[in-house]
């Protein structure tokens, strides 16, 4: 990890792909004579070295050494030739030989380590640095770890692999977004997500472009093909993120895509097939059970006769029906993916190109995320001073949507789709006037019917995404490097839904038309920057590196609030007829470019939204290296943004840090036990600028089709000329150490982050007529410790056992919310609040102490701790925390010859889960189905029951509205330990198939999320709900409301290299 | 590298940076693009037409407030409804224990104040459009004041104890809002709120400012009708009588002898004085502004949320079976459980009158009884309404009916004719404040739960909530 030594080389070599050029040799075979060049290649220790590329310069004729280090080049051209030996981590070397016609030449060679390459490099903001010189807290996650499990989106692959990075995978919905938090959470209303930078461009990362439609937020990261990622660097402290200024406070995730390397062509084909299912199934009541309990509640309420049933259902009908709605909405998801990539490397040109298709089916019937991705990255070295780099990716992500959570589907199966409801009518139904309403087989529509909802609508979100960049690197003189960069990130997001007329009104006498609606959004995100770097290494003991740069970013978002039309094409759908929706909109001349409402009735636009924001920045970094053991870094950035108020136009963000490689000191040098020891410390100020646009100016909104069909406009946002970024003051100190020749490596970091000017989206008095306004009023502390341990537990001839463990503890506290009350900012379902002295996202609940054995009523505590049967919001107290205290992961990799077993465990400790759905699943008997735990209810005096006496009347629970019943009864421990991955792979060595040579293949069986240990009584302890807005996303993870559980999957993948 | 270079470089860089950025400030003035629906405040109101659009925005939210949402809040507190079937926040209101989180009450409260905010936006910008003629300026201001008065009136009736609950009406009312500022304010007294309402109406009803013609916007006739309701609520029966009489005799509205339902479409009917209009964009394509009525009362729905009390149903179906009013109500039965529903809100589209001719007749009649004057007119009014309801003269008052008989008849008819508008609650409270012993579903008219609770964030040090605990 830190030092150069032969163990790591062995490790690297065993993983390095072997190179081969046989196809070109074959091509030339028809006209070349039968000259042979052969030989033996050894490493610096004298061992035979497999996989070394040996090539004849100027041709594509070459070979690779076999396991014994031997190579043979057939049909070498005659005359004087230059033989090139290359292998990653070793110096490329050239040898001149003379080949006679029909002759045979033997050339043996000893490879020499390339010290510079072997140093591990990490990507930092606007550059790369040697790992040993880094003075900030950066965790690097390489490609293999990102793609080791099939996740809905690449960021989920980070879970458990980087200390201090809390990844809560999105729910079981296909393509869903994870919640990623670096070192806790320091924002309340502004987005608390890290800044995502792909190959230099801060990408569009708004999770609310599609709002919360259907119980899901759009995931702007899902279109990134994980297979294209070379590495992910997670920048955590101010020394690392300071260079990103006003956007670095919540950490930065740098994504670097693959580049062409080595020499010649390398190909990689990977396929994956698998199945998925939920980690847990809801245990809802069946029809008989539901009727029994409803009748019991009815009688408890003093009624006689049969209980009235929801949905206009009679008892006779109810008794004849027993629909298992969970079965109707949950199935087995099918997954398949195919990725082909080719890499080419040569003296002047490197190319990486890939094409991939993935169909990631979730366990929800009808739900899958399909991604078709294409990427090409090219490096062209014009000459030794000039290099051009271009990257382009085009991705089409199609989310075949279903309703979830509060919107229906499985959410309905867990709530208001009762087992007494049928899927279809059995009999003909007429109204009192004798009109035909339903025929047998028509969908039943008198209550929730998730099957009808799914079958009678087509719903598809299509995202076209293209992330591109061009850069020019010029070296006008020794040690001066100038880079110019332009990046462009384009997003075209269309959420299309077609609702069959029968869904809008199922009765056969209805004249309701079908409805087609589209929610289109376009984002154009431009970024350009330039940097100049000068390395002053005249004195090798005092090397100074200066970097200065500027950056300009502009992002424009344009969206229709909705385009819709009602039509009579009942029997057709746009999924069956590709382009139908486009065609229908085109007919009315509502095009992407047009903004006018057509005169023709039938097609409507609910108005458009158009926003632009920009950042203008300058930045500088100075690095100082003394004798390769003392390092210092100073960064500064000045950001101006259109989002900042005129009174706070520019922010200045400095950082300073230092590192000391103690192991280079005489007293440790040569130590047998301590192979590496570094102390680093850093301080800096960074910001979070995720402020909605135009807050500084205020805003009127213009709308069409208002009252009496008139256009209208209204004041929506009051100006706030003082609005500014959140300011994080971060201190970090860390120790990095390697022991026993780096067989054991460890990093421990302590940090303290004080965030001030925290943005709150405050709710003023409703009588102002304003819903919310933004202001910088809060303060938050995050402090914590992180630990990474890497160990090679066993390293025998054919057995290698590697263990990686990480843990992170984070303490989070809100220290101020200005003069506001906890209710001024709220999370999703009215259950989390901002309370001074408590963490962000504190559950704010009435305490529930149990069920009175004598009366069967719930007992609550008032604010003074006295028992009461009445639920009153005035008695809410801060309890529980949605943020875990500790998260981490443990990865074990066992290699036995060609077999490898990998196991990843992840854990989360110290959080609570608030199961908001339980209010109705286990509370008042309503038109929601209940869970079978409800059988433990009070029935007679003396009963020690978990749940109160059944009743249809909320007042018997001390409340008027069952939805208000937020109590600690539904607050549960959220600790869990999960087997995230178990995989078994077999490495097939290089082989021939017919006339084709292959470098190798890997077959892997992977089980994901197959076992979880938890005390949480609900479905799954890992919860990222659908969120309403960034505030909700910050404050209410770990709140579940009909949230689909995580998926478990079993896949087989096949990787072929040639 | 000398020391100078080593330490001065960052300083030079910083200086250069600041200089460079200083020239970039204009670039940071990113304003909403022309293509979108967002515009800066400084550019939003330039012409009379822009100002008219702001006024429309007030109507727009008003239409979403009076789509049944406002009306249902009052009705839920009366004896006209049985327990709501869906057990949600309507249940909480019906139980007279509205909490700070009640979404229905909070939503209507907020919407009404949005309408007020938009009316205030209009009034704050009256001086800006240069093309605004004096007549247009007066008209726009009068409409804004009408909307502001109407919303304050309904808010104070639902979120505070009624007029005359305390001597001098010094009991806490609601916040009067006259600006577009985001600042916390305290509770005004009920007296202050009523004074404010009357001040706005006084402007709106001025001769020649608003058209007397009843249309989809506020009119002078509507302002008079509003004042009639306000005066009636204030027990100022003489003024109420005069105003109701003025509306009735304005010639702008007419008694409709053929329709027992006030909810008509596409026209609002001859009786509607001010109404929430549902616009028809094309055949079958209507921006139905009736969701809270239709969604809760639809008699054909499998789970009718708002079901009538037996008492109300009996009163409403008193006449011969098949009589016009009788046809509006229905008794349903499932598994031996009976419940009562109205078919008033079954049509897919309908307009929602806020004031009607019949309402004015009944105010005039009750006032006549209270004043013991013009009883002939009152009896004629009541009989016209009854004849329409029953298609018969059997239920008519005799010409010698006493003042109390007239009052009782007017109240009984008001309960049925103004059903589900919330008028019943306001009438009961008015009578309670007048000294009658009014008990509604077992609770006194002025117990804490008969007043809705404010939304959580309305509470500040200056703004105490209503007493909690229900009743």
- Please count the residue pairs, one from chain A and one from chain B, whose beta carbons lie less than 8 angstroms apart: 305
Q: Is residue B326 part of a domain?
A: no
Q: Do B40 and A550 touch (CB under 8 A)?
A: no
Q: What one-character DSSP code corresponds to residue B115?
A: H
When pLDDT is averaged across residues A420-430 and rounded to a whole number, the result is 95
Q: Which residue from B239, B223, B152, B225 is spatially nearest to B190, judged by alpha carbons?
A: B152
- The answer to whether residues B14 and A618 touch, using CB atoms and an 8 Å cutoff, is no
Of B54, B101, B302, the CB nearest to A311: B302
The token pair that represents A1028 in the structure block:
């309403």
Distance (Å, rounded) from C-alpha A344 to C-alpha A362?
Answer: 36
Q: Is the pLDDT of residue A17 over 80?
A: no
Q: Cβ contact (<8 Å) for A610 and B91?
A: no
Residue B298 has pLDDT above 80, yes or no: yes
> In a 3-state reduction of DSSP, which class is residue B139?
helix
Total domains present in chain B: 1
Residues of chain A contacting B63 with CB distance shorter than 8 Å: 707
Residue B366 falls inside a structural domain: yes
For A710, the closest of B56, B86, B109 (CB atoms) is B56
Considering only alpha carbons, which residue of chain B is nearest residue A633? B10
State which residue of chain B sits closest to A963, comparing Cα positions.
B88
Q: Residue B468: what pLDDT?
A: 85
Q: How far is CA B145 from CA B148, B203, B225, in A?
A: 5, 7, 14
What is the model's pLDDT at position A595?
34
- Is residue A513's pLDDT more than 80? no
Taking the Cβ of residue A924 and every Cβ of chain B, the question of whether any pair is shorter than 8 Å is answered with yes
CA dihedral A75, A76, A77, A78 (to 10 degrees): -100
Please provide the distance, in angstroms rounded to a whole number, between the alpha carbons at the two ends of chain A: 29
Chain B interface, best mutation among A765, A844, A927, A950, by max B CB count within 10 A? A765
Using a CB-CB cut-off of 8 Å, the residues of chain B touching A959 are 92
For residue B351, the model assigns a pLDDT of 96
Rounded distance, CA A650 to CA B201, Å? 49
Contact B38, A694 (CB under 8 A): yes
Which pLDDT tens digit goes with each residue over A154-174?
999 999 999 999 999 988 899
State yes or no: pLDDT of B15 exceeds 70.
no
- Is the pLDDT confidence value at A27 over 60? no
> pLDDT band for position A21 (50/70/90)?
very low
Residues of B in contact with A708 (CB under 8 A): 56, 59, 216-217, 277, 279
CA distances from A494 to A400, A465, A573, A1043, B422 (A): 12, 11, 16, 24, 44
C-alpha–C-alpha distance, residues A157 and A226, integer Å: 9
What pLDDT is recorded for position A509?
Answer: 78
Give me the CATH number covering residue B363.
1.25.40.390
| Contact state of B30 with A642 under an 8 Å Cβ cutoff | yes
- B216-231 pLDDT, tens digit per residue, is 999 999 999 999 999 9
Cis ω for the linkage preceding B266 (within 30 of 0): yes
Q: Give contacts of A 714-733 with B, CB under 8 A.
A: 714-716, 718-719
The kind and range of the H/E element at B106 are helix B103-124
Residue B458 clears pLDDT 80, i.e. is over it: yes
Mean pLDDT within A896-909: 94
For residue A71, tell me if it sits in a domain. yes
Summarised one tens digit per residue, pLDDT across range B87-108 is: 789 999 999 999 999 999 999 9
pLDDT > 70: percent of chain A: 92
Are the CB atoms for A423 and A443 separated by under 8 Å?
yes
Distance CA A807, CA A165 (A): 10
pLDDT greater at residue B404 or residue A123: B404
User: Of A714, A767, A954, which has the smallest distance from its Cβ to B91's Cβ?
Assistant: A954
The residues that bridge with A465 in the sheet, in sequence order, are A395, A491
Asked if residue A770 is part of any domain, the answer here is no
Closest alpha carbon to A214 in A412, A431, A352, A38: A412
Choose among A884, A861, A882: nearest CA to A871.
A861
Per the structure, the count of domains in chain A is 1
Q: What is the DSSP letter of B323?
A: -
For residue B457, the chain A residue with the least C-alpha distance is A765
DSSP-derived 3-state class of residue B385: helix
pLDDT tens-digit series, residues A325-384: 999 999 999 999 999 999 998 889 999 999 999 999 999 999 999 999 999 999 999 998
Residue of chain A whose Cα is closest to the Cα of B20: A618
So what's the pLDDT on residue A576? 60
Among A495-499, A510-514, B253-257, B277-281, the range scoring the smallest mean pLDDT is: A510-514
**Contact between A914 and A965 (Cβ < 8 Å):** no
Strand-pairing partners, residue A83, are A56, A95
| Residue bearing the bigger pLDDT, A151 or A412 | A412
For B274, the token pair is 């001010």
Identify the band that residue A908 occupies on the pLDDT scale cut at 50, 70 and 90.
very high
| B contacts of A703 (beta carbons < 8 Å) | 37, 57, 60
Cβ within 8 Å of B, A 952-971: 952, 954-955, 959-964
Name residue, tokens 């009908």: A317
What pLDDT, on the 0 to 100 scale, is given for residue B31?
79
Beta-sheet pairing, A912-915 with A1039-1040: parallel
Residues of A in contact with B468 (CB under 8 A): 872, 874
- In chain B, the residue whose alpha carbon lies closest to the alpha carbon of A699 is B40
Give yes or no for a contact between A55 and A24, defined as CB atoms under 8 angstroms apart. no
β-strands A386-400, A457-477 pairing: antiparallel
Query: Could you give the CA distance from residue A402 to residue A216 in angstroms, rounded to a whole number?
Result: 9
Residue B163 lies in a domain: yes
Cβ separation B285–A566 shorter than 8 A: yes
Average pLDDT of A19-34? 37
Q: How far apart are CA A735 and CA A659, in angstroms?
A: 9
Burial (CB < 10 A; 0-12, 13-18, 19+), residue A992, is exposed
Tell whether the torsion through CA atoms of A881, A882, A888 and A891 is positive or negative.
positive
Asked if the structure places residue B426 within a domain, the reply is yes
Taking Cα atoms as reference points, which of A904, A905, A913 lies closest to residue A884? A913
Task: Check B40 against A644: CB less than 8 A apart.
Answer: no
Which pLDDT does position B301 carry in this prediction? 87
Distance CA A719, CA B44 (A): 13
Over residues A387-416, mean pLDDT: 96
Q: What average pLDDT does this structure show over B440-462?
A: 95
> Model confidence at B469, in pLDDT bands (50, 70, 90)?
confident
- Rounded to whole angstroms, the Cα distance separating B362 from B406 reads 10
Q: Take residue A904 and report the two structure tokens written for it.
A: 């990843």
Nearest residue, CB atoms, B281 vs list A306, A446, A709 = A709
Distance CA B452, CA B157 (A): 10
- Residue B241: which of B46, B381, B435 has the closest Cα? B381
Indicate the SS3 state at residue A737: strand
Q: Above 50 in pLDDT, residue A208? A: yes
Residue B156: pLDDT band (50, 70, 90) is very high
Contact A718 B53 (CB under 8 A): no
Residue B403 token pair: 């003042």
Instruction: Say what the pLDDT of residue B20 is.
Output: 58
* Interface contact flag, B302 A642, Cβ < 8 Å: no
Phi, psi of B216 (to 5 degrees): -75, -10
Between CA A740 and CA A5 the distance in angstroms is 11
Q: Which residues of A touch B185 (CB under 8 A)?
A: 765, 767
b or e along A568-602 (b: 16 or more beta carbons within 10 Å of the residue's beta carbon)?
Answer: ebeeebbeeeeebbeebbeebebeeeebebbeeeb
Q: What is the pLDDT of residue A512?
A: 67
Distance set, CA B170 to CA B165, B166, B173, B446, B452 (Å): 9, 6, 8, 15, 18
Is there a contact between A766 and B97 if contact means CB atoms under 8 Å apart? no
Q: What angle do CA A485, A489, A492 make, to 5 degrees?
A: 165
DSSP-assigned letter for residue A90: B
B53 CB neighbours in chain A (<8 A) are 702, 710-713
> What confidence category does residue A29 fall into, taking pLDDT thresholds of 50, 70 and 90?
very low
The single-letter DSSP state of residue A968 is G
- Average pLDDT, whole number, for chain B? 93
**Which chain A residue has the Cα nearest residue B277?**
A708
Least confident among A21-25, A604-608, A1003-1007, B111-115: A21-25
For the stretch A259-286, pLDDT in tens is 988 778 999 999 999 999 999 999 999 9
**DSSP strands (E only) in B188-336:** 272-276, 280-282, 285-286, 329-334
Q: Can you list the alpha helix ranges (DSSP code H) found in A924-1058?
A: 1030-1035
Question: How many angstroms away from the CA of A106 is the closest CA of chain B?
Answer: 52
**Does A60 reach chain B within 8 Å, measured CB to CB?**
no
Predicted confidence at residue A741, as pLDDT, reads 85
A451/chain B closest Cα distance in angstroms: 19
pLDDT digits (tens, 9 = 90+) for A933-979: 999 999 999 999 999 999 999 999 999 999 889 999 999 999 999 99
Interval A222-257: pLDDT, tens: 999 999 999 999 999 999 999 999 999 999 999 999
What is the chain B residue with the closest CA to A642?
Answer: B28
Say whether A601 and B283 touch across the interface (CB within 8 A): yes
Q: Could you tell me if A760 lies within 8 Å of chain B, comparing CB atoms?
A: no
**How confident is the model at residue B23, as a pLDDT?**
56
For residue A7, pLDDT over 90 is answered with no
**B134 CB-side CA count, 13 A:** 1
Taking an 8 Å cut-off on Cβ atoms, the answer to whether A538 and B1 are in contact is yes
At A511, list the tokens. Answer: 């004249």
Q: Which domain holds residue A51?
A: 6-118
Residue A750 in this model has a pLDDT that exceeds 90: yes
Is A314 exposed, middle or buried, given 0-12, 13-18 or 19+ CB atoms closer than 10 A? middle
Q: Is the pLDDT of residue A450 over 70?
A: yes
Q: Is A768 on the interface with B (CB under 8 A)?
A: yes
CB within 8 Å: B118 and A769: yes
**Which residue of B18, B44, B457 is in closest CB contact with A823?**
B457
**Is the ipTM above a cut-off of 0.85?**
yes
Q: pLDDT at position B27, please?
A: 80
Enclosing domain of residue B407: 45-279+351-458
Q: Which of A70-79, A681-690, A1039-1048 has the lowest mean pLDDT?
A: A70-79
Chain A hits for B458, Cβ within 8 Å = 765-767
Predicted confidence (pLDDT) per residue in A611-635, tens digit: 999 999 999 999 999 998 999 999 9
Smallest Cβ distance to B113: which of A702, A711, A766?
A766
Average pLDDT over residues B266-292: 90
pLDDT given at position B154: 98
Q: What Å distances lie between residue A632 and A135, A542, B378, CA to CA? A: 7, 11, 95
Task: Judge contact between B297 and B420, C-beta under 8 A.
Answer: yes
> With 60 as the cut, is the pLDDT of residue B127 above it?
yes
Q: Name the closest residue on chain B to residue A647, using Cα atoms.
A: B25
- Confidence (pLDDT) at B1: 42
Give the chain A residue nearest B463 (alpha carbons).
Answer: A765
Residue A102, pLDDT score: 84
**pLDDT on residue A602:** 53
Whichever domain contains A107, its CATH number is: 2.60.40.10
Query: Which positions in chain B touch A707 (Cβ < 8 Å)?
Result: 56, 59-60, 62-63, 216, 277, 279
Q: Mutation test of the interface with chain A: which of B86, B335, B348, B352, choosing the one with the most A Cβ atoms within 10 A?
A: B335
Task: Judge: A714–B174 Cβ closer than 8 Å, yes or no.
Answer: no
Given a cut of 60, whether residue A41 has pLDDT beyond it is yes
In this prediction, residues B164-180 reach a mean pLDDT of 97
CA A367 to each of CA A68, A404, A410, A459, B13: distance values in angstroms, whole numbers, following the listed order: 50, 10, 11, 10, 54
Interface mutation target, options A766, A834, A953, chain B, most CBs of B under 10 Å = A766
Residue A737's pLDDT is what?
Answer: 95
Q: Which residue of B has its CA nearest to A543?
A: B1
Residues of chain B with Cβ-Cβ distance to A641 below 8 Å are: 28
């Amino acid at each position: 990890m830190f030092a150069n030594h032969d163990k790591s080389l062995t490790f690297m070599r065993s993983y390095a792909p072997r190179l081969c050029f046989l196809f070109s040799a074959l091509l030339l075979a028809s006209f070349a004579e039968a000259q042979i060049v052969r030989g033996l290649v050894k490493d610096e220790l004298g061992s035979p070295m497999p996989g070394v590329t040996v090539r004849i310069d100027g041709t594509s004729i070459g070979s690779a050494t076999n396991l014994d280090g031997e190579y043979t080049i057939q049909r070498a051209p005659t005359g004087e030739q230059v033989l090139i030996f290359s292998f990653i981590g070793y110096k490329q070397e050239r040898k001149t030989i003379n080949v006679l016609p029909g002759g045979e030449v033997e050339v043996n060679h000893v490879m020499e380590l390339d010290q510079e390459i072997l140093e591990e490099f990490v990507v930092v903001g606007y550059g790369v640095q040697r790992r040993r010189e880094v003075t900030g807290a950066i965790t690097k996650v390489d490609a293999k770890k990102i793609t080791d499990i099939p996740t809905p989106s690449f960021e989920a692959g980070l879970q458990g692999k980087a200390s201090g990075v809390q990844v809560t995978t999105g729910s079981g919905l296909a393509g869903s977004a994870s919640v990623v938090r670096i070192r806790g959470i320091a924002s309340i209303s502004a987005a608390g997500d890290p800044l995502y930078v792909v190959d230099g461009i801060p990408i569009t990362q708004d999770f609310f472009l599609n709002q919360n439609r259907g119980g899901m937020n759009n995931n702007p990261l899902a279109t990134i093909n994980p297979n294209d990622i070379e590495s992910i660097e997670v920048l955590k402290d101010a020394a690392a993120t300071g260079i990103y200024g006003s956007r670095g406070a919540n950490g930065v995730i740098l994504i670097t895509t693959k580049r062409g390397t080595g020499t010649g062509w390398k190909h990689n084909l990977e396929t994956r097939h698998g199945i998925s299912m939920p980690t847990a199934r809801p245990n809802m009541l069946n029809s008989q059970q539901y009727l029994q309990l409803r009748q019991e509640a009815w009688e408890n309420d003093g009624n006689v006769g049969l209980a009235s049933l929801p949905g206009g259902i009679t008892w006779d009908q109810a008794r004849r029906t027993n629909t298992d709605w969970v079965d109707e909405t949950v199935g087995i998801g099918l997954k398949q993916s195919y990725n082909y990539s080719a890499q080419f490397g040569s003296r002047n040109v490197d190319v990486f190109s890939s094409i991939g298709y993935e169909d990631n089916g979730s366990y929800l019937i009808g739900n899958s995320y399909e991604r078709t991705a294409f990427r090409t990255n090219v490096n062209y070295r014009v000459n030794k001073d000039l290099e051009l780099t271009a990257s382009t990716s085009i991705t089409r992500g199609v989310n075949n949507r279903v309703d979830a959570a509060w919107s229906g589907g499985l959410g309905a199966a867990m709530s208001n789709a009762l087992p007494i409801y049928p899927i279809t009518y059995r009999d003909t139904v007429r109204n009192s006037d004798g009109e035909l309403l339903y025929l047998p087989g028509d969908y039943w529509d008198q209550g929730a019917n998730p099957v009808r909802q799914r079958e009678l609508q087509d719903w598809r979100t299509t995202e076209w995404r293209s992330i591109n960049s061009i850069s020019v690197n010029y070296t006008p003189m020794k040690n001066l490097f100038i880079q110019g960069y332009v990046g462009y990130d384009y997003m075209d997001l269309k959420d299309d839904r077609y609702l069959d007329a029968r869904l809008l009104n199922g009765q056969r006498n209805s004249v309701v038309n079908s409805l087609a609606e589209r929610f289109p959004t376009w984002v154009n995100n431009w970024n350009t920057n330039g940097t100049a770097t000068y390395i002053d290494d005249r004195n090798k003991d005092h090397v100074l590196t200066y970097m200065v740069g500027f950056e300009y970013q502009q992002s424009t978002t344009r969206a229709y609030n909705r385009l819709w039309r009602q039509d009579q094409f009942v029997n057709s759908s746009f999924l069956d007829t590709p382009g139908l929706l486009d065609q229908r909109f085109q007919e009315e001349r509502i095009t992407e470019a047009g903004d006018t409402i057509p005169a023709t009735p039938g097609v409507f636009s609910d108005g458009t939204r158009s926003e632009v924001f920009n950042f203008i920045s300058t930045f500088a970094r100075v690095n100082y290296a003394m004798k390769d053991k003392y390092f210092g870094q100073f960064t500064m950035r000045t950001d101006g943004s259109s989002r900042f108020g005129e009174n706070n136009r520019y922010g200045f963000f400095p950082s300073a840090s230092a590192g000391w490689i103690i192991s280079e000191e005489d007293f440790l040098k040569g130590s047998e036990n301590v192979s590496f020891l570094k102390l680093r410390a850093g301080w800096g100020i960074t910001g979070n600028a995720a402020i909605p646009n135009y807050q500084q100016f205020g805003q009127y909104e213009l709308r069409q089709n208002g009252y009496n069909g008139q256009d209208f406009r209204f004041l929506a946002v009051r100006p706030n000329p003082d609005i500014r970024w959140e300011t994080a003051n971060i201190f970090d100190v860390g120790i990095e150490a390697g022991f026993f020749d780096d067989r054991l490596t460890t990093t421990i970091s302590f940090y303290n982050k004080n965030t001030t000017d925290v943005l709150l989206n405050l709710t003023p008095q409703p009588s102002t007529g304003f819903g919310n306004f933004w202001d910088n009023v809060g303060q938050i502390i995050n402090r914590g410790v992180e630990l990474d341990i890497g160990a090679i537990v066993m390293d025998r001839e054919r057995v290698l056992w590697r263990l990686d463990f990480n843990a992170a503890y984070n303490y989070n506290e809100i220290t101020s919310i200005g003069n506001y009350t906890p209710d001024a900012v709220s999370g999703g379902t009215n259950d989390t609040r901002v309370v001074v002295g408590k963490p962000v996202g504190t559950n704010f609940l009435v305490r529930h102490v149990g069920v009175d054995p004598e009366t069967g009523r719930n007992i609550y505590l008032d604010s003074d701790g006295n028992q009461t049967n009445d639920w009153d919001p005035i008695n809410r107290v801060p309890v529980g925390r949605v943020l875990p205290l500790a998260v981490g992961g443990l990865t074990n990799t066992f290699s036995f010859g060609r077999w490898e077993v990998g196991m990843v465990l992840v854990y989360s400790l110290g959080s609570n889960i608030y199961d908001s759905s339980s209010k109705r699943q286990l509370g008042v008997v309503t038109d929601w189905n209940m869970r079978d735990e409800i059988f433990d209810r009070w029935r007679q005096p003396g009963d020690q029951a978990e749940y109160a006496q059944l009743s249809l009347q909320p007042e018997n629970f001390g409340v008027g509205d069952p939805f208000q019943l937020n109590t600690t009864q539904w607050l549960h421990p959220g600790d869990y330990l999960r087997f995230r991955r178990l995989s078994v792979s077999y490495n097939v060595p290089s082989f021939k198939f017919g006339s084709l040579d292959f470098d190798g293949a890997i077959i892997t069986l992977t089980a994901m999320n197959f076992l979880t240990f938890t005390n949480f009584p609900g479905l799954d302890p890992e919860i990222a709900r659908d969120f309403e807005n960034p505030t909700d996303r910050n404050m209410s993870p770990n709140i579940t409301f009909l949230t689909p559980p995580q998926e478990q999957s079993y896949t087989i993948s096949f990787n072929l290299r040639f | 590298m000398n020391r100078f270079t080593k330490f001065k470089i960052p300083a030079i860089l910083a200086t250069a940076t600041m200089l460079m950025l200083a020239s970039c400030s204009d670039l940071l003035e990113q304003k909403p693009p022309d293509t979108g629906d967002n515009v800066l405040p400084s550019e939003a109101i330039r012409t009379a037409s822009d100002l008219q659009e702001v006024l429309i925005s007030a109507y727009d939210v008003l239409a979403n407030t009076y789509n049944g949402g406002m009306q249902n809040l009052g009705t839920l507190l009366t004896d006209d409804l049985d327990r709501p079937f869906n057990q949600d926040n309507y249940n909480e209101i019906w139980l007279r224990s509205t909490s700070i989180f009640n979404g229905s009450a909070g939503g209507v409260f907020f919407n009404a104040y949005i309408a007020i905010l938009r009316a205030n936006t209009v009034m704050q910008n009256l001086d800006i459009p240069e093309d605004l003629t004096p007549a247009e300026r007066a008209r726009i201001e009068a409409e804004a004041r009408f909307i502001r008065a109407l919303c304050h009136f309904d808010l104070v009736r639902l979120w505070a104890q009624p007029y005359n609950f305390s001597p001098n009406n010094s009991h806490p009312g609601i916040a009067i809002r006259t600006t577009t500022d985001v600042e916390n304010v305290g509770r005004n007294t009920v007296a202050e709120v009523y004074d404010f309402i009357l001040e706005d109406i006084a402007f709106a009803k001025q001769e020649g400012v608003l058209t007397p013609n009843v249309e989809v916007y506020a009119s002078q006739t509507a302002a008079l009708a509003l004042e009639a309701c306000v005066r009636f609520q204030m027990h100022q029966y003489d003024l109420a009588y005069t105003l109701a009489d003025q509306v009735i005799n304005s010639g702008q509205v007419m008694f409709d002898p053929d329709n027992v339902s006030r909810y008509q479409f596409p026209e609002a009917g001859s009786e509607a004085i001010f109404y929430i209009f549902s616009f028809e964009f094309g055949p079958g394509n209507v921006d139905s502004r009736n969701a809270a009525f239709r969604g809760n009362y639809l008699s054909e729905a499998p789970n009718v949320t708002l079901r009538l009390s037996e008492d109300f149903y009996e009163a409403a179906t008193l006449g011969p079976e098949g009589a016009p009013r009788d046809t509006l109500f229905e008794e349903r039965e499932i598994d031996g459980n009976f419940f009562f529903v109205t078919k008033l809100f079954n049509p897919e589209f309908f307009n929602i009158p806020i004031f009607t001719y019949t309402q004015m007749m009944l105010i005039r009649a009750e006032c006549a009884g209270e004043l013991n004057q013009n009883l002939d007119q009152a009896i004629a009014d009541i009989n016209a309404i009854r004849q329409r309801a029953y298609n018969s003269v059997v239920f008519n008052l005799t010409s010698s009916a006493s003042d109390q008989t007239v009052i009782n008849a007017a109240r009984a008819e008001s309960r049925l004719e103004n059903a589900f508008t919330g008028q019943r609650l306001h009438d009961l409270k008015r009578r309670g404040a007048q000294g009658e012993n009014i008990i509604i579903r077992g609770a006194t008219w002025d117990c804490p739960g008969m007043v809705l609770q404010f939304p959580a964030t309305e509470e500040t040090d200056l703004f105490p909530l209503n007493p909690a605990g229900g009743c």
